Amino acid sequence: MNKLLLTVAVLPIAAAIGGFYYFEDYPQWMRVIALLVAVGISGMIALQTAPGQTAWAFRRDAIIEVRKVVWPTRKETTQTTMIVLVVVIIMSLLLWALDSILAWVVRALTN
């Protein structure tokens, strides 16, 4: 039953996409609204299935988790960015120095 409902849910979207190009004489905003309505109808049909209900529950749980996140302040974000930049610069200088030393050693051994 779920597969049948999911198949039926795809039909309005397919029809709306076909209609979007078939009725190209109409204004684009009307065709876009019709396409969005078809997506809404398809979504409502898909929500009647077990996978659709699982996806909706996942969405709801994700929103709850996002509300629990403690976002850093602007000052904390700036400080963290500066730390990362300093570490990247230091590491690039160290790797450049190591590469130069190894290149010098290889040149000395191969001459």
How many helices (H) and strands (E) are present in the chain, helices listed first? 4, 0
Q: What is the pLDDT of residues 9-46, one digit of tens each?
A: 899 999 999 999 999 999 999 999 999 999 999 999 99
Query: Tell me, what's the pLDDT at 59?
Result: 94
pTM given for the model: 0.55
- Calculate the dihedral angle through the C-alpha atoms of 37, 41, 46, 52, rounding to the nearest 10 degrees: 60
Higher pLDDT, 2 or 55: 55
- Backbone φ and ψ for 99, nearest 5 degrees, come out as -65, -40
Query: Tell me, what's the pLDDT at 6?
Result: 87
Higher pLDDT, 71 or 90: 90
Q: At 87, is the pLDDT very low, low, confident or very high (cuts 50, 70, 90)?
A: very high
Query: Tell me, what's the pLDDT at 91?
Result: 98
Res. 56: pLDDT tops 90: yes
3-state secondary structure 8-73: HHHHHHHHHHHHHHHCCCCCHHHHHHHHHHHHHHHHHHHCCCHHHHHHHHHHHHHHHHHHHCCCCC
What's the CA gap between 98 and 109, in Å, rounded? 16
Q: At 3, is the pLDDT very low, low, confident or very high (cuts 50, 70, 90)?
A: confident
Q: What is the mean pLDDT of the chain?
A: 94
